[in-house]
Structure 1
């Protein structure tokens, strides 16, 4: 009955979440259903298991949600994201329209801007560019997804995405875990994705298919505040779309150097903190009870990303102060944009904690750890399945590591496996099957591009799912043969 309860709870969570119900309510209800089937005490699991684990996630990662959302909002309101996207699209021109959109998305998201902020800036530019280049509108979502939601989210070493931060406390790693393998995976995702999009563009031209006859203009403010889009988005990413129209979007655009500088600061400070500053710090105070009696490896990765984002926020404020006419409104909107997403993902974490605490989950743990191919394959399968079921890379990844992270670290200690390799496999694995039709990023992206699942989803699958699976297979194969590098 316990295993049946887990399946029923997952089914209810998936069904109602896909229909737009809030995860904040669905996750604890589904957790109680699973506990009831197992004959476990419901109130104890709600207040002691669900809430303590959800609160633990918030305590650990809210600084990154908060600073990341604030940084993205300031970059948007200052016009910096617009300038970067506009410069690339003009420099590369309509002859390389797809490449321009992909690179613009990659630059801003690798620099720490939320992919949802990038969606709302890139979609209007991609529409104009694709129309002038006579490229079908249906390919826009896939082009934006390739640049924002694939290699810069899960593979590029040092990426400040929340997905890249989640494994750090579990494995004692840094944002730059397995950099060589991350670059290899990024090259595969980018290469395969661009090959597919160019192939689709050539096929469309051969059939005489242009941009399309639908010249309707998408009202981005309506999309941002749409209840269904918002409910799906906040459960899968770290920015509440309802806050995008808030604040004052400047018309006095900054020069390119001022737009790019905060992104460069994120990458540079993250690298220096991870490789130079933190390893040389005396952190013996962390052993004190008042600081949780933890080690640097448990908090260092989060510290690196938090300091990098904070430095970038200060940089953005300094170079764009005159352009941020309603600074308080922008800061309020950025801070507010982080709250609903972190609570939504934390609720998924609480649900996973209840499931992992049930006696029947022992069977699931044994099955996962017993998958043939070794710990890297089983870890990839676990993160893939949970990200697919939840429709959330961050939620699925945290559930997997909460339940199985300690087991994989024990395997690593016994076999000499580098935890950095576990980190990179887990992050890439979480960013594959999460891009199913119910994923919040997919729903939002289709809405801002004025397209539908029927028209654009297959190409999204090819550039987001297939490319990531190929990269994941390559990392597992190379990592098994040569280890982490």
Structure 2
């Protein structure tokens, strides 16, 4: 009965979330269903297990959600994201429209700009490029997703994406965990994705297929759609409803000023991770007043938080006079972080209740018993949970909450570098999370004015198949050569 309750609770969560119900309501209900079938105390699991785990997630990661959303809104309203994307697309031109869109998305998201901010800026530019180049509009979602939701989210060393930050407190790692393997995985994802998209473009040209319907994509309507908002809130750290809550600058800054904050994010993150924090005396963190923690448990979050804060200050210094309404921009950025953090925290709370069920021991034993060793079973666990929840961050946190200490013990026993665990876990969470019910996929299709039938196969190939190939390569190389 206990296992049946877990499956039923998960089914309720997935089905109703796909239909646009709020995860804030669904997650505790699904958790109580699982606890009820197991004969466990309902109120205790709701207020102690569920809320305790959700609160810990908020306490750990809200600074990153807040600063990431604020940075993205400042970059959008100042015109910096548009300037960067426009410069890259102008340099490469319509003849390389696919590459232009992919690289523009990769540049802004690796520099710390939220996926949804990037999407709403990139789509109009991609629309113009694809129309001029005669490339079918149905390829736009896959091109944008390849640049914004694959290697810059899960593989590139130092990426400030929340998914790359989640394993750090569990494994004591930095954002630059397993950098060599991360770069290799990024090259595989980018190379395979571009190969597929260029192949699809060539086949479309041979068939005489052009851009297609001239109707512009309903960008504003997608941002304000409440169903899309509920789905999107569990997928990324920015609430789409805040996209139009503040005015934009009349023009765009010079490209060097526009790109400067992105370099600050990467540079400060590297400096904090490799030089400042490793040489910092943080013995005081072991005191009860600081929660009895260690520098290894907080250093990764501190590094990304300082990098984003430094970039925000640089952005304010360079764009203060250009922002029409600074307070509205700051308010919209702050507000954009609230629904996503609590939505993902609710998924984490659900996972904590499930992990507390006696029947979960069978699930844990099954996962750990998957052949191929700890790296394979860790990749499978994050893949499955990200697929079921439709959230890379939610699935990853649930997996590590339940199994993180076990994998750390296995790593110590088998001599596996925690950095390798980190990279495998993040790449694993960034594969099957892009199933049809994923909020980012739904939002991207809506903004591009496309449908699953028209565009989803190309998203699967560019974002899921390429990521699975990269994950397999990282596991094979990590198992034979170790972390590098």
Superposition TM-score, scaled by structure 1 size: 0.99
1:24 counterpart residue number: 24
Asked if 1:422 corresponds to 2:421, the answer is: yes
Asked if 1:114 corresponds to 2:114, the answer is: yes
Q: Report Cα offsets for 1:14-57 as digits up to 9, x if no partner.
A: 11000000000000000000000000000000000000000000
Q: Report Cα offsets for 1:286-321 as digits up to 9, x if no partner.
A: 011000111111000000000000000000000111
Return the offset for 1:251. Answer: 1.6
1:36 counterpart residue number: 36
Select between 438-447 and 216-225 the one with higher mean Cα deviation. Answer: 216-225
1:123 counterpart residue number: 123
After TM superposition, the structure 1 = structure 2 runs for residues 446-465 of structure 1, keeping only pairs within 5 Å, are: 446-465=445-464
Asked if 1:53 corresponds to 2:37, the answer is: no
Q: Secondary structure at the match of 1:434?
A: helix
Q: Report Cα offsets for 1:446-475 as digits up to 9, x if no partner.
A: 011110000000000000000000000000
Distance 2:387 2:337 in 1: 23
Distance 1:157 1:233 in 2: 25
Q: Secondary structure at the match of 1:216?
A: coil
Distance 1:311 1:12 in 2: 42
Give yes or no for contact 2:169–2:300 (8 Å, CA) kept in 1: yes
Q: Secondary structure at the match of 2:208?
A: coil
1:98 counterpart residue number: 98
Return the offset for 1:220. Answer: 2.0
Distance 1:209 1:219 in 2: 22
1:222 counterpart residue number: 221
Q: Report Cα offsets for 1:233-260 as digits up to 9, x if no partner.
A: 0011100000011111112210001100
Give yes or no for contact 2:115–2:149 (8 Å, CA) kept in 1: yes
Return the offset for 1:433. Answer: 0.2
Return the offset for 1:219. Answer: 3.4
Return the offset for 1:178. Answer: 0.1
Return the offset for 1:111. Answer: 0.1
Return the offset for 1:223. Answer: 1.1
After TM superposition, the structure 1 = structure 2 runs for residues 363-382 of structure 1, keeping only pairs within 5 Å, are: 363-382=362-381
1:238 counterpart residue number: 237
Distance 1:189 1:452 in 2: 23
Return the offset for 1:221. Answer: 2.1
2:15 counterpart residue number: 15
Q: Secondary structure at the match of 2:249?
A: coil
1:407 counterpart residue number: 406
Q: Secondary structure at the match of 1:400?
A: helix
After TM superposition, the structure 1 = structure 2 runs for residues 161-240 of structure 1, keeping only pairs within 5 Å, are: 161-212=161-212, 214-240=213-239
Question: Structure 2: which 5+ residue stretches go unaligned?
Answer: none
1:348 counterpart residue number: 347
Distance 1:9 1:86 in 2: 46
Q: Secondary structure at the match of 1:282?
A: coil
2:250 counterpart residue number: 251
Give yes or no for contact 2:218–2:446 (8 Å, CA) kept in 1: no
Distance 1:411 1:449 in 2: 45
Q: Secondary structure at the match of 1:413?
A: helix
Distance 2:123 2:135 in 1: 14
1:478 counterpart residue number: 477
Distance 2:70 2:291 in 1: 28
Select between 75-84 and 217-226 the one with higher mean Cα deviation. Answer: 217-226
Q: Report Cα offsets for 1:379-408 as digits up to 9, x if no partner.
A: 000000000000000000000000000000
Q: Secondary structure at the match of 1:353?
A: helix
Distance 1:70 1:264 in 2: 17
Q: Report Cα offsets for 1:102-121 as digits up to 9, x if no partner.
A: 00000000000001100000
Return the offset for 1:215. Answer: 1.3
Return the offset for 1:76. Answer: 0.2
Q: Secondary structure at the match of 1:175?
A: coil
2:139 counterpart residue number: 139
Q: Secondary structure at the match of 2:434?
A: coil
Distance 2:132 2:357 in 1: 57
1:298 counterpart residue number: 297
Q: Secondary structure at the match of 1:135?
A: coil
Return the offset for 1:218. Answer: 2.5
Superposition TM-score, scaled by structure 2 size: 1.00
Return the offset for 1:216. Answer: 1.2
2:394 counterpart residue number: 395
